[in-house]
Chains A and B, each alone.
Chain A
């Protein structure tokens, strides 16, 4: 998977590594901003109230 990605990226090795680093950071940022906040309510901890909890 990553090998395929590596072979299909343009440019010399440093450029490919840079592209992959930026892509990885972008994925991480998207997770922190949108994905993790969206799935956090389904995690089985963090309930603090009595009643509906």
Chain B
């Protein structure tokens, strides 16, 4: 800096230079302090860019890759080709018939294993998101996307299939959770089965209210008879003060080999 120059050019042993040197040192320290503060400010801005934008870029890429690497059978997209029939046969997705008998339920997988995906037609434009075991941030929520609360029900089971996901940052799989309305389908898929849940209610709770992920949401001691689904995420956005909770129940299930759920036909 220019203020530092006189120190070097001034002779050392003159009387007037002592006080000027003191001033110069003070200005020098102030200058360094100012530059440090500016540097910290720039780094804080860079942190915001990283947190609010870059984690989404990386997360979306990683989660799309995870879904792709599942390499699950694709549901039949056209009726079984029958060459003798004319072009009257409409070509399009086969809609699976809803089944409301006992659905197949998988065992809980190991920590950080991706075992399901979720699609929400209400969130048009959102990709299919992977669901993995565990709700730890470093190993699941920040890197794999949506996490399944260990010990809660698996998809289709009697009890509460409870999940957590980021609402902001890290690809924000639950970003649009507040758009959900009662009756909206939540389509969960495992390797061989579709589970179509429907939203029954949403609520805002404190982080300590673990009863929302109880087998019967809101009633920790009760024995479940229904098949619930629960999503938890942060609320308000960019805050950890409260949690936004979505509850739903299973509407029906269908084998993937039978086609795709009617809810996913035409978009999603």
Contacts and interface: CB of A to CB of B under 8 A. Distances in A.
A and B physically associate? yes
B51 A1 contact: no
Contacts, number: 82
B193 interface: no
Contacts of B4: 3-4
B210 A51 contact: yes
A31 interface: yes
A50 B232 contact: yes
Nearest to B231: A48
B246 interface: no
B243 A36 contact: no
A19 B161 CA distance: 55
A34 B232 CA distance: 29
Interface in A11-53: 28, 31-32, 36, 39-41, 43-51, 53
Contacts of A2: 35
Interface residues of B, number: 44
Nearest to B147: A49
Nearest to B230: A50
Contacts of A53: 207, 240, 243
Given A31-B47, A36-B47, A45 B240 contact: yes
A21 B31 CA distance: 21
B260 interface: no
B137 A41 contact: yes
A51 B164 CA distance: 11
B208 A50 contact: yes
B211 to A, nearest CB: 9
B46 A49 contact: no
B50 A31 contact: yes
B50 A50 contact: no
A41 B138 CA distance: 8
Given A45-B238, A50-B232, 5 more contacts: A3-B2, A31-B43, A32-B54, A40-B55, A51-B213
6 nearest A-B residue pairs (beta carbon) = A47-B240, A3-B1, A53-B207, A49-B164, A36-B50, A1-B35
24 contacts: A3-B31, A28-B46, A32-B46, A40-B55, A40-B142, A41-B138, A45-B238, A46-B169, A47-B207, A47-B240, A48-B165, A48-B167, A48-B232, A48-B243, A49-B149, A50-B164, A50-B205, A50-B207, A50-B210, A50-B243, A50-B245, A51-B208, A51-B213, A53-B240
